[in-house]
Structure formats: C-alpha cells, structure tokens
Copies of this chain bind each other. A is one copy, B any other.
Amino acid sequence: MAGNTFGTLFRLTTFGESHGIAIGGILDGCPAGLLMDIEFIQQQLDYRKPGQSKLTTQRKEEDQVEFLSGIFEGKTTGTPIGFLIQNKDQKSKDYSHIKDTYRPSHADFVYEEKYGNRDYRGGGRSSARETACRVVAGAIAQLLLKEEGVEIHSYVQQVGHLTLLKEFQDIDFSKTFKNDVRCPDETVAEQMEELIKSIKKDGDTIGGTIQTLVRNCPIGLGEPVFDKLHADLAKGMMSINAVKGFEYGSGFCAPEMKGSQHNDEFIRTEEGTKTKTNYSGGIQGGISNGEQIYFRTAFKPVATIMKDQDSVNKEGEKKTVKGKGRHDACVVPRAVPIVTAMTALVLADHWLRSKTSKL
C-alpha cells in the first residue's frame, strides 16, 4: 500500500506532483445531502496558497479548486467527489540545477533510493504542494462537522523563540486570519512577522508550532486500542510536511506530573457530566469525552535556504547546493489551514465510524 489514502469511512486519496499538470483528489464516503459551500472551501485554500503575502513564497498559483463529480444541485450525492487544482506557475526550469544533487533535509535522496528514479522538478510528490488537496477535503469535512456544531481553531502559537502564551478563553479566534502570520494576537503576530522577515532577509528559515482547539466535539468519537482519536490525530498531523512532534492535553508536561495533579475529576453540571480540569485534552481512553480537545504540532524550519550547503550527487561526488526558486522562510502561517484540514478529516471519519458503535 502506497499510502496516498487517508481515513477509513471518510476517505481522501490524492495525486499530483509539484510541477505536473495538476494535483487533485477523490473524497469518498461523504454522506449525501451535505450543502456544498464552495466559497468556504475556496477560502480555506486561499489561506494556504502561495504568494498571498510578503511572508510566503512568491510562486503564483490561483489554486482554484474545480469539482468534477459527487455534487449535484448544490449538494453531495453520496458518490465520490473528484476535484482538481491546476499547476499554473510551474517554472520547472528553476530546478534543473538539482537534478542530480540531493538537497539537504529534502526527500531527493530517499526517493531516488526507494523508487530508482525521481521527479526532480520542485520535489515532485514530496513537495508540500500536495497539501492543497488535503485542504479541499478538509474543508468539506468541516462543513460536515459544522452540522454537528463542531468548531476547529488552529493558529500559530510559536515562531522561533516567540510564543503566544494566552489561555484559550482569552483568545479571540476571529483575529487569526487578520494578519499574515496567523496568530490571534496583534502584538505577538507583529513580532513574529518581524522575525520571519529578518530571517528571510538573511536567506535562512525558522520553525514554529501550531496550536489547535476543537470545541463541541460529540462524546464517543475514537476507537479503543489502535485507532484512538488522538492516535489518528497524531498520524494526521505528523503526515504534514516538516512536522517533527505532536502532543495533546498535558503532552510533554505529563511526564513531570503526579496522578493526583493530572487526573480530571468528574463533576455534574447542567450540561451533563463534565471534568473539573482538562489535562486529558478532551480524550480519555482514546475516545472524546465532550471537553475541549487541544493539541500542539511542531514544525521544523523549511529545508530550502538561500545559502551554500554541502551535498553529494548521485555518483557520490561532493557538490554545493543553494536554494533558488521561491520559498517560504517559515512554514507555519500557511500550515494553519492544513492542520485544521487534517483535524477535520480525522474527526469526520471518526464521527461516521461512531455511527455503528451500538445498536
């Protein structure tokens, strides 16, 4: 299995290389009768697209999604939703200099070893351009989840050493997309923007983290044992280009905590059974418990830098490579809609899966 399908009941299969004719996908298993809000889907894509601000790569792509099937008279029909995004600004000439040389911390070397050949134009299939298809399918998943009242909020929490330290209840999520860096706090956003610009000027890149909060998730999503809800969320996030770590709830703070601190005691409220604290991150035993789900995804700095680096070519000869082309200095601003999309894909899939848990 070649791994280009995600999900079990709500299933996305994608295709496409960075510099091919088009990228696209098939979303299978979306229930019939869902109203397609094309504008919402395109907006999610726009949040991801290159060239949208000074912070992002200047590759120009309209990234207009074209739906080919599965929608009739404005609603899903229950049949597979096929969609395409054309690659317009391909400029594959830019890449001839790395045809035979492996770019450090890129997938060039491993593709060559695994497949015996590679599409060297812009990284081919290993390019993050592929994630545009996830955003399309994830937007449809969001439409499905909205019917249940589920809200997903992702935002840039950290760029380099700069971190937004606010609690969720103090964050105004309507501000996230009001700045180019996708941080819902004007002051911190401005600092992050300055940092990215200075890093870029230097020809370098920088990492960051994205925080995600899910509100109103129904109780009971997630399967015990292997397909725990957080295990599938982890897989979804870790499958995004450049991601190096995932934690939910107490995460990497948990190892230092005692059970008496960490346990979330149950209380009865007007809304039903709730927990006093939420170190569990809204998931217990792999199953959503109705509390807020939250997790954090860590991104490494973009591998393409405008500096000379040592490398070797296919023949093992020493070479120097230096990024040309148009690249992001920090990936997290454009990754926000991708993280949201993967979250929505996981939740929509588990929501459908939960329909047959009991008689």
Chain B residues with CB below 8 A from A175, complex form:
none
Q: Which segment of A39-47, A116-124, A164-172 sits at the interface? A: A116-124
Q: Are A34 and B359 in contact (CB under 8 A)?
A: yes
Chain B: minimal CB distance from A276 (Å) = 8
Q: Are B280 and A105 in contact (CB under 8 A)?
A: yes
Q: Which segment of A56-64, A183-191, A347-355 sits at the interface? A: A347-355
* CB contact under 8 A between A316 and B268, given known A228-B238, A256-B207, A259-B302: yes
Chain B: minimal CB distance from A95 (Å) = 12
Q: Are A316 and B273 in contact (CB under 8 A)?
A: yes
Q: Are B31 and A357 in contact (CB under 8 A)?
A: yes
**Is the CB of A298 closer than 8 A to any CB of chain B?**
yes
Bound CA–CA A284/B241 (angstroms): 10
Chain B: minimal CB distance from A341 (Å) = 12
Against B, the Cβ 8 Å flags (1 = close, 0 = not) of A1-42 are: 111111011010111110011111110110111100000000
* CB contact under 8 A between A68 and B22, given known A79-B124, A104-B263, A239-B227: yes
Q: Are B285 and A126 in contact (CB under 8 A)?
A: yes
* CB contact under 8 A between A244 and B254, given known A2-B29, A28-B5, A356-B9: yes
Q: Are B300 and A117 in contact (CB under 8 A)?
A: no
Q: Are A301 and B257 in contact (CB under 8 A)?
A: yes
Number of interface residues of A (CB under 8 A): 151
**Is the CB of A223 closer than 8 A to any CB of chain B?**
yes
Q: Are B266 and A2 in contact (CB under 8 A)?
A: no
Q: Are A31 and B359 in contact (CB under 8 A)?
A: yes
Bound CA–CA A261/B305 (angstroms): 11
Chain B residues with CB below 8 A from A142, complex form:
none
**Is the CB of A325 closer than 8 A to any CB of chain B?**
no
Docked complex: A151-202 residues within 8 A CB-CB of B: 158-161, 199
Chain B residues with CB below 8 A from A355, complex form:
355-356
Docked complex: A83-133 residues within 8 A CB-CB of B: 84, 102, 104-107, 109-111, 113-119, 124-126, 130
Chain B residues with CB below 8 A from A107, complex form:
224, 284-287
Chain B residues with CB below 8 A from A310, complex form:
265-267, 276
Chain B residues with CB below 8 A from A343, complex form:
none
From the candidates B28, B226, B231, B359, name the one contacting A147 in the complex (CB within 8 A): B359
From the candidates B32, B109, B199, B254, name the one contacting A245 in the complex (CB within 8 A): B254
Q: Are B225 and A4 in contact (CB under 8 A)?
A: yes
**Is the CB of A262 closer than 8 A to any CB of chain B?**
yes
Chain B: minimal CB distance from A253 (Å) = 8
Chain B residues with CB below 8 A from A258, complex form:
160, 199, 204-206, 301
28 contacting pairs across A/B (C-beta < 8 A): A2-B28, A2-B79, A5-B13, A15-B81, A16-B68, A17-B70, A20-B69, A22-B68, A22-B82, A26-B26, A33-B116, A33-B359, A77-B117, A77-B118, A107-B224, A110-B220, A114-B358, A116-B358, A158-B255, A205-B259, A207-B262, A245-B252, A254-B301, A262-B301, A262-B303, A265-B311, A279-B300, A355-B356
Leading 5 A-B pairs by shortest Cβ distance = A107-B285, A3-B227, A3-B223, A245-B247, A15-B82
Q: A17-B72, A247-B298 are known contacts; what are 11 more A-B pairs with Cβ within 8 Å?
A: A5-B28, A17-B69, A20-B68, A29-B356, A32-B116, A104-B263, A110-B288, A209-B255, A250-B300, A258-B301, A352-B356
